[in-house]
Structures are given as C-alpha cells and as structure tokens.
Amino acid sequence: MKRLLWGTAAILLLSPSCSNSEKQEIIQVPFNEVTITGGFWQCRMNSELETTVPFSLKHCDAAIKRFEQCADFLSGSSTELPETHRFISSDLYKVIEGAAYSLMLKDDPETESLIDSFAVLAAKVQRPDGYLYINHICGNPNPDEMGDKPYSWVVHSHELYNVGHLYEAAVAYYQATGKTNLLDIAVKNARHVNKVFFEGDPNYNGGKPVNQAPGHEEIELALCKLYKVTGDTLYLDMAKKFLDIRGVTYRPEGEGVMSPEYAQQHAPVALQREVAGHSVRAGYLYTAMAQVDALTGRSDYAEALNSIWDNLVSTRMHITGGLGAVRSVEGFGAKYELPNKEAYDETCAAVANVFFNEGMFLASGDARFLDIAELSIFNNALAGINLAGDRFFYVNPLEADGQWGFNHGKTGRAEWFGCACCPPNISRMILQTPGYMYAYTDDAIYLTLYGSSRTAITLDCGKVELNQTSDYPFSGEVTVDVNPGAGSRFSLKLRIPTWADGTGNFIPGGLYTFRNRAGEPVRIKVNGKNVRYRIVDGFAVIDRYWDAGDRVELSIPMPVRYVAADSRIEADRNATAVTIGPLVYCAEECDNADRVQNLAINTEGWGTTCMSTISGGPLDGVRKVICPGSRDITMIPYYAWDNREDSQSMTVWVKNLPDTTRTEKDLERFSPNSPSLKGMICL
C-alpha cells in the first residue's frame, strides 16, 4: 500500500478584508495522516471499511454491466445495447473514490483488482479522442434526456457530471496506489473536454466550441483536484472557465428544471448573492468557487460566496445542516421555507455543505464555517447512513409520520436506490472525516473537529506530534498531548463552537437560538493550570513555548439545550428542538410508546432532564436524553434515527406544552431518585 500524500495547495484568502499579507496559507492535514484512535469516529470508520465499501461495490453491478455491454458492442462480440441511463456511471465512480480512500487506510487486494479490471473496461469504452458517455458511444441515447448527439443537451445530459466524478475517483486511486490507469483515462477525457468546449473540435458541435456550462456542477471541483495532483494549470483554467461562463453563455428560460435558477444559471456566478436552485448542484458550485479562488490566489468569487453563505445560514438551512428543503426541485425555496415532514434535504446536499464550508474555512481561517460543516456532518449527513453502514436515506426530513414513503417510496431506510447518488457520497465523506480534524499554518495548529486521534504536523519550528483523546460529540472534554521535537513556540488554536460561545445561538446565522443559557464557561488548562486565552475567529488561541509532554485540557460544557426557531419559519412555530453540543436530537416512536406528534415538551424543563448512554443493540454507545413534557419524552441524536424499527414516527421539533409551569409531579418524576430514571444522570 502506498500512502501518497496531498495537502490543500496554495490556499489564499477569499475575503478582501483578509487580504492582509500576514495571513498565512492554511493547510488541512489530509485524512490519511490522521489516525483515529478511538471514540465516535472509530466505529464509523470501521463500518466503512468492513461494511459500506464492500457493500457499495456489490451494488455497482448494473453500472459495470453497462461498460461491459458497451465494450462488447463496440468490439462486435454482442449486439445487446447497454441500459439507457444518464448518470449511473457517476455512482460507480463515487464508489470507486470511496474504495480508493479505504485502500489508503487498509490494504485490500480484491478491491484493488476490481478497480484495475474496471479501468481496463473503461479504457475500452472510451473513444480514442477521450469522449466517455456510454449511451452516445453505443448510439442508443434517450434524446430527451441526453440530446441526440454528444454535448447537444449539456443542460441535462450529465456528460460532464459523470466525468467529474471519474476525475475524483482517478485522483483518489492514484493517491492510494500510485497507479495511473484511471488517471490516464481522466486526463485524456479532460483534454478532450477542453478542446470541444473551449477550442473547437471538428467532430463535435460543427467544430465550434460548445462554450456552455454543464447543467449539473461537479466537473469544476474535480478539475481542481486534477490540477492539484498533476500540477497542470490547464485543468485549473478549465475550472475557472466553466465557472465564468455559467449564466453568461447559456441561460435556460423555462420552469422547474429548465428555470434559470435551477442550475444556478440566472446570473454570472460572481454576481450571485443568494442560494438558489437544486441544492446539490449549488453546493458543488460554491465548493468549486471557493477552491478556484484559493488555487488561483484571486478573490473573484469572495463577495458572492460570503453573501451566499450568509443567505444560506440565515434563511434557508434546517437545524440539521440540511440544504434543499423543497422536494419538487430538490432545492431551495423561498426564505424561511423550511418544512419538516415534507423537507427534502438530500444526503448529497448535506455532504456538499460540508465540502463548501471546509473550503470557506481554509480560505478564511474563520471557525464559523466549521460550525456549519460540523452541524452538517453530525446531523443531516450522518443520518444518511445507518449505524451498520448498509442502509440509506436519500431524503432527510425532520419529521416522519411512519406512513408516508418519503425516502423514494420507503417509510424508512433503503438498501440502495435506482438513482444512487447519496450512498457513495456519504460513504466517501465519512472516510475523509479525519481530514477535517487538524489544519496548520507555518506557526499555528488548528484543532477543527474534536475526536480521539493522533497526528504529526511539521511547522516552521519543527515537527509536532499531537495525541488527542475525546468522546466528542458526546462529551466536550478534550485532552491533547503536545509533543514538539524540542521546546518551540507556536499557537494552538482550539475551536470554540458557536453553541458554546455564550451568545445564545446554536449556530451562526441567528435562525436557531437557545431558550436556556450555557451555564459554565469553556475552560482550558495547560499542564493542570487554568490558562487565559483570547478568542480569534472562533478559536481559543494559546500562544506559548511548548515542551514535550505538555498537556492541554479543554472543557466545553455540553448541557441539554432547548432551541427555538426564528418565528418566520412557520413549521417550527410553538415547537422546541433539543440539542446537546453539536448534536440535534429527535423523538422516535419506539422510545415513546406513542406517535411523537402527540408529545408536548415543557419549554422550561431543560433543568430537569436526564441523560444516559444506551448499552447494547444497534444504538450501543449513543447518548439519549429524557425531557419532561406531556409525558417523559425520550430523545436520541437525529443521526441515529431509524436504526431499530422502520415506519416509525419521528420528530425533531416537539410541540410546546401550552402550560409550561412545572408541577410538583414533574419535579418528583424527574428527581434522581425516581425509579424509572434509575442509572441516568439527571440535572
């Protein structure tokens, strides 16, 4: 197994106000340089390696078969034509990308050989000029969806979306193995795309450059990866060109999927100011804009991105970090249009939200972007996959009645989907999560996402080993052993999430505010002694000389918090959400012996809640909470719902009890001596 490394190249600043030359490039420690040593992420990584990756590869049979049929058809050994499908290849590429990440963590000759065989097949199917899209190659396109010729219906064909995912897979496989078999196919395709779209190729579009941005973004961010791994600026130039022609050279003028907003083609991207349209497309677009700015060292999109981000977090994001509330367009609706039961919030969109916000953090050094990335990871994104790693949500509502098949026809999780974009997306994100834990500049180390892990970072002053222990997100106690090679001075920057900063907001943006106060402040000790710290951009900064064996103890209080939504969100009026740390909780029918829609919470009851860790069963190790209300309301983290029984009612927002006065009976029931609460920690 080769462990090729990559950092985030040349990340400069997005915001003009941050163009201070003293600001330094922030580099993320790549996930394969962070070892998970226990806690929350260890289970998730194990289920990825042991279950999700092999399980997903098995579900690629239909996609692989199309390549086989196409190859046989081209060689004349069969007349059978491959199934007509616009983007099933992209699902396969995403699975390969995740499988490649898994190879960086664990050798698996079988998976490697499967990917190698696929590369042989893909090379046979790819046209000599680099074009790669099965149905046009085999001459059986569905013209309504794909156009009658290559690149004649770029707005919906997904030709460039598919190859974007191919580039990401190829880069990952090269990084994992050093093999260029997929990368060669990707590079050949990218050069072909450049010729056809920006130079003109006699075999396509009558020789005129197509010069139109694809309807589904993806190739832009993938070209950035291709640039980073090859160093060839052609790909970065292409990414920028695709961004800059969006909404300029072509603008659909219809409705629904042909509306100008649907694929963010209503205005040049640098002039866009609000989130719009299909949420996965939007998320990939914003990610690419942040990356292109960073890689070119320009701020062409900074104003747009900052405004779009503000608009997102203050008007159009669910408390779970979910994007794209409106089912009919899989996208954004009007301001504050955030329904619960009907919410769409596709898993892919939550993953895109993570990519977007990680990019914004690297560009700015501002922790508020990490608050949103973390929110999305621990809530909407992780809800997209069950704890065992083999069942999925495409759609992530905040309420279910147990009867409506909200999840593409299912009332619960599905084994896979006809259109399976989501399962491999969440899978590849989980595998990369250790890469969201640490970042650094020449003279500072950022702790960006807490969890038991180990890494080593080379600063200007030398190598620093870090060994972190934490049960985060179930506990805010974090211990970090710092081992510089020799005594050296640098800053350690510990992220203090918005939910712990005493401002009363659960996350930035002001949509979700706490009903109760945080209580204790955040405390930091170095070698057992409290230290004073200053907060800069959401980080507690400890600047000092460090010695081998120094120990930092961070204590972020995580009381049970009750949250109210902005009253302009109609669906959440007169209701309360419960959060602990970054986790959003939900009530599920199987814990509450009743349809959860019948429950009502005492909005003043936060001081009389009880918590315990579930032991055994699918939710082993998950922390539950019991809150007083019309009855004792048991709640579990949202990401863990639908792991026990399907067709359950569930709700994040619990109706408020009209009379919030706590009765003697409530208090008695919630006394630590109450027999029904035995073994729980009660406040």
Number of residues that bind ligand FUB (CB under 6 A): 8
Q: Which is nearer to ligand FUB, 330 or 401 (CB)?
A: 330
Does 421 help bind Zn ion (rule: CB under 5 A)? Answer: yes
Q: How far apart are CA 430 and CA 451, in angstroms?
A: 14
635 is in the binding site of which of Zn ion, ligand FUB, none (Cβ under 5 to 8 A by kind)?
Answer: none
Q: How far apart are CA 633 and CA 435, in angstroms?
A: 36
Contact criterion met (CB below 8 Å) for 608 and 666: yes
Could you tell me the smallest distance in angstroms from the CB atom of residue 111 to ligand FUB?
25
Could you tell me the smallest distance in angstroms from the CB atom of residue 264 to ligand FUB?
13
Q: Which stretch binds Zn ion (CB under 5 A): 181-189, 413-421, 647-655, 675-683?
A: 413-421
Q: How far apart are CA 371 and CA 358, in angstroms?
A: 10
216 is in the binding site of which of ligand FUB, Zn ion, none (Cβ under 5 to 8 A by kind)?
Answer: ligand FUB
> Which pair of tokens denotes residue 160?
């460039």
Q: How far apart are CA 147 and CA 455, in angstroms?
A: 50
87 is in the binding site of which of Zn ion, ligand FUB, none (Cβ under 5 to 8 A by kind)?
Answer: ligand FUB
Does 422 help bind Zn ion (rule: CB under 5 A)? Answer: yes
Which residues are CB-neighbours of 597 under 8 A, at least 6 positions away?
399, 401, 649, 651, 655
Q: How far apart are CA 325 and CA 334, in angstroms?
A: 10
Q: Which is nearer to ligand FUB, 86 or 225 (CB)?
A: 86
Does 587 help bind Zn ion (rule: CB under 5 A)? Answer: no
- Mapped onto helix, strand or coil, the DSSP state of residue 647 is coil
Footprint of Zn ion on 346-365 (CB under 5 A): 346, 348
Does 421 help bind ligand FUB (rule: CB under 6 A)? Answer: yes
Q: Which stretch binds Zn ion (CB under 5 A): 414-422, 430-438, 650-658, 664-672?
A: 414-422
Which string of x and - marks every residue 253-282 that binds ligand FUB (by CB under 6 A)? ---------------------------x--
Does 414 help bind Zn ion (rule: CB under 5 A)? Answer: no
Q: Which is nearer to ligand FUB, 63 or 457 (CB)?
A: 63
Q: How far apart are CA 55 and CA 102, in angstroms?
A: 13
Could you tell me the smallest distance in angstroms from the CB atom of residue 132 to ligand FUB?
17
Footprint of ligand FUB on 72-101 (CB under 6 A): 87
Q: Which is nearer to ligand FUB, 85 or 216 (CB)?
A: 216
How many Cα neighbours within 13 Å face the side chain of 12?
17
Could you tell me the smallest distance in angstroms from the CB atom of residue 20 to Zn ion?
39
Q: Which is nearer to ligand FUB, 422 or 540 (CB)?
A: 422
Contact criterion met (CB below 8 Å) for 578 and 561: yes
Could you tell me the smallest distance in angstroms from the CB atom of residue 385 to ligand FUB?
16
Helix (H) or strand (E) holding 368: helix 367-376
Strands (E), 365-447: 399-401, 438-440, 444-447
Which residues are CB-neighbours of 522 under 8 A, at least 6 positions away?
496, 500, 501, 540, 554, 555, 556, 557
Contact criterion met (CB below 8 Å) for 620 and 640: no
SS (H, E, C) 395-408: CCCCEEECCCCCEC
Could you tell me the smallest distance in angstroms from the CB atom of residue 134 to ligand FUB?
16
Q: Which is nearer to ligand FUB, 346 or 589 (CB)?
A: 346
Footprint of Zn ion on 485-504 (CB under 5 A): none
Task: Identify the residue among 234, 248, 419, 590 touching ligand FUB (CB under 6 A).
Answer: 419
Could you tell me the smallest distance in angstroms from the CB atom of residue 658 to ligand FUB?
40
Q: Which is nearer to ligand FUB, 419 or 680 (CB)?
A: 419
Contact criterion met (CB below 8 Å) for 550 and 526: yes
The DSSP bridge partners found for residue 656 are 601
171 is in the binding site of which of Zn ion, ligand FUB, none (Cβ under 5 to 8 A by kind)?
Answer: none
Which residues are CB-neighbours of 58 under 8 A, at least 6 positions away?
none
Which string of x and - marks every residue 207-226 that binds ligand FUB (by CB under 6 A)? ---------x----------
242 is in the binding site of which of ligand FUB, Zn ion, none (Cβ under 5 to 8 A by kind)?
Answer: none
Could you tell me the smallest distance in angstroms from the CB atom of residue 86 to ligand FUB?
7
Does 27 help bind Zn ion (rule: CB under 5 A)? Answer: no
Q: Which residue is nearest to ligand FUB (CB)?
A: 280
Taking CA 514 as the corner, what is the angle to CA 511 and CA 516, rounded to the nearest 5 degrees? 170
Q: Which is nearer to ligand FUB, 131 or 262 (CB)?
A: 262
Contact criterion met (CB below 8 Å) for 515 and 603: yes
How many Cα neighbours within 13 Å face the side chain of 675?
0
Q: How far apart are CA 381 and CA 502, in angstroms?
A: 26
Taking CA 266 as the corner, what is the angle to CA 352 and CA 270, rounded to the nearest 5 degrees? 65
Does 156 help bind ligand FUB (rule: CB under 6 A)? Answer: no
Over its C-alpha atoms, the chain yields an Rg (Å, rounded) of 25
Q: Which is nearer to ligand FUB, 130 or 283 (CB)?
A: 283
Which string of x and - marks every residue 323-362 that binds ligand FUB (by CB under 6 A)? -------x---------------x-x--------------
Number of residues that bind Zn ion (CB under 5 A): 4
Could you tell me the smallest distance in angstroms from the CB atom of residue 426 to Zn ion?
9
Contact criterion met (CB below 8 Å) for 334 and 394: no
Which residues are CB-neighbours of 530 under 8 A, at least 6 positions away?
523, 524
Which residue has 């008007």 as its token pair? 315
Q: What residues line the site for Zn ion (CB under 5 A)?
A: 346, 348, 421-422
Q: What residues line the site for ligand FUB (CB under 6 A)?
A: 87, 216, 280, 330, 346, 348, 419, 421
